[in-house]
Chain A
Amino acid sequence: MQFKYKLEGGDFTNAGNASSAVKKILRQLNVDSAIIKRIVVALYEAEVNIVAHAYSGIIDVNIDENKLYICLEDKGPGIPDIEKAMEEGYSTASSKVREMGFGAGMGLANIKRNADRFLISSETGKGTKVELFHNLKQNAE
């Protein structure tokens, strides 16, 4: 199964809609609720990151029987120093983003913690790509 969602930078009204839709799909597929929580927390953080920092983005969700692969690709300023951005507490978020309850510099670390595998690459001035891998069965390795 494949699903695609489009994101608009700065559109906080609709931020989280894609994560919510994915949560509903995973529930219908009877995925364990603890696994669903890990997936949607990582996805939601990444979705909010695009809305907070980029101009636009696309979320690609691929589900097969045992595995989930999500690719989030945005057009935006990119991340000049990924290592620095991964540090907890480091943030470049605007005051608007902080007013929404985000931008404390915890997002990327939380995505990594909640993903079975997490890849990030970025080109300054072009955009950022985040990839999330999850097993949908508890004992599937």
Chain B
Amino acid sequence: MNRENGRLWKNFPESLKRSYWNQVKKIREISEIIEGKVLCCQNMLDHNIEHAFASDLMSDVLTVEKSNLLLITGLANTQTIRTAEMSDISCIIFARNKKVGSEIVSLAEETGIIIMESSFSVFRISGELYKAGIKPVF
């Protein structure tokens, strides 16, 4: 949905519009909030994210039924990317400066998953994004 266009959207009360946009963040805004460095797929920075999930356990990630998710994790290996690919996760944040190797970056680029590094902990990233209006899955 475009922010400005659409007759229906224009007739919405301002307070409702504000509360909607408070719950959806562009990946670009998310990267600013968590001081993240985007490592690939820069063309996806304008995608919207509504829900996030934090886990180092890929088996757990694979049970999440929602799509277009953001994943916050400390586990940086190629299976993190494969898990995201199978689960339709569009963005991954690697917390606490985990070393993200070139193999991981190229697999993410190839599968169209945007990845970011942040020096913040999983707890802090989760807290900041929750405060910014991103919703939990469970």
Chain A interface (Cβ < 8 Å from any Cβ of B): 12-13, 15-16, 19-20, 23, 33-34, 37, 40-41, 44-45, 48, 100-104, 106-107, 110, 113
Contact = CB atoms under 8 A, between A and B. Distances in A.
A23 B79 CA distance: 16
Nearest to A17: B82
Contact of B79 (A40, A101, A107): A101
Contacts of A23: 85-86
Interface string B46-80: 00000000001111111101010000000101111
Interface string B74-105: 01011110110111100000000000000000
Interface of B: 56-63, 65, 67, 75, 77-80, 82-83, 85-88, 111
The prevalent SS among residues of A at the interface is: helix
Nearest to B111: A20
B67 A37 contact: yes
B78 A41 contact: no
Contacts of B62: 41, 44-45, 106, 110
Contacts of A107: 59
A100 B59 contact: no
Contact of B57 (A19, A41, A104): A104
B59 A33 contact: no
Nearest to B79: A100
B57 A12 contact: no
A100 B79 CA distance: 7
A24 B86 CA distance: 11
Which of A37, A103, A113 lies at the interface centre, i.e. has the most chain B CB atoms within 10 A of its CB? A37
A77 to B, nearest CB: 20
Contacts of B80: 101
A33 B67 contact: yes
A16 B82 CA distance: 6
A103 to B, nearest CB: 8
B82 A44 contact: yes
Contact of A101 (B83, B86, B88): B83
15 contacts: A13-B78, A15-B82, A16-B83, A19-B86, A34-B67, A37-B88, A41-B62, A41-B86, A44-B62, A44-B83, A45-B62, A100-B58, A101-B58, A102-B79, A110-B59
